[in-house]
Amino acid sequence: MNPLRTLNRIFHALPINLALIIMCVLWIVPTLGLFVTSFRDREAVRTTGWWTIFTPQPVVGETEYTTYCASCHGAKGNALPQANLSDPAIVNKYQRDYQLLAYLKQPINGQPHVQNPALPGNPNQSLPILGKILVYMQKLSSGGAKGPSLTLSNYVDALVGYKGTNSYLQDCASGNTAALLGLNCTASDLTSPAGMGIAMLNSIIVTVPVTLLVITLAAFAAYAFAWLDFKGRQWLFAILVGLQIVPLQMALVPISRLYSAVGMQSTFLGIWLFHVGFGLPYAIYLMRNFIGSLPKEIFESAYLDGANHWKSFTTLALPLSVPAVASLGIYQFLWVWNDFLVAKIFLTSHPVLTVQITNLIDPRGSNWNILTGAAFLSFIIPMVVFFAFQRFFVRGMLAGSVKG
Ligand code: HEC
- Domain coordinates in residue numbering, the chain: 58-143, 196-397
Q: Where are the alpha helices (DSSP H) in 38-179?
A: 42-47, 62-68, 70-73, 88-91, 97-105, 126-141, 153-160, 168-173
Which residue is closest in CA terms to ligand 1's atom 25? Answer: 83
The rounded distance, in Å, linking the Cα atoms of 153 and 142 is 14
Give the phi and the psi of residue 41 in degrees, each rounded to 5. Answer: -80, 170
CA of 62 to the centre of ligand 1 (A): 16
The dihedral built from the CA positions of residue 327, 328, 331 and 332, taken in this order, carries a sign that is negative
Q: Which of 72, 82, 133, 141 is the best mutation target for the ligand 1 pocket, counting ligand atoms within 8 Å of the beta carbon and taking the most?
A: 72
**In this structure, are residues 134 and 143 in contact, taking their beta carbons and an 8 Å threshold?**
no
pLDDT of residue 123: 66
User: Nearest-CA neighbor of 203 among 41, 369, 379, 69?
Assistant: 379
Q: Is the model's pTM score more than 0.75? A: no
User: What is the mean pLDDT of each successive set of 10 residues along the chain, which is 404 residues long?
Assistant: 82 89 93 90 81 76 85 86 85 84 82 72 73 85 65 87 81 76 79 87 95 95 90 91 87 92 92 94 92 87 87 88 88 92 91 90 80 89 84 59 45
pLDDT of residue 221: 94
The rounded distance, in Å, linking the Cα atoms of 258 and 253 is 9
pLDDT of residue 315: 87
The rounded distance, in Å, linking the Cα atoms of 253 and 165 is 39
Q: Which of 76, 114, 134 is the best mutation target for the ligand 1 pocket, counting ligand atoms within 8 Å of the beta carbon and taking the most?
A: 114
CATH topology of domain 196-397: MetI-like fold (1.10.3720)
Amino acid at 395: R
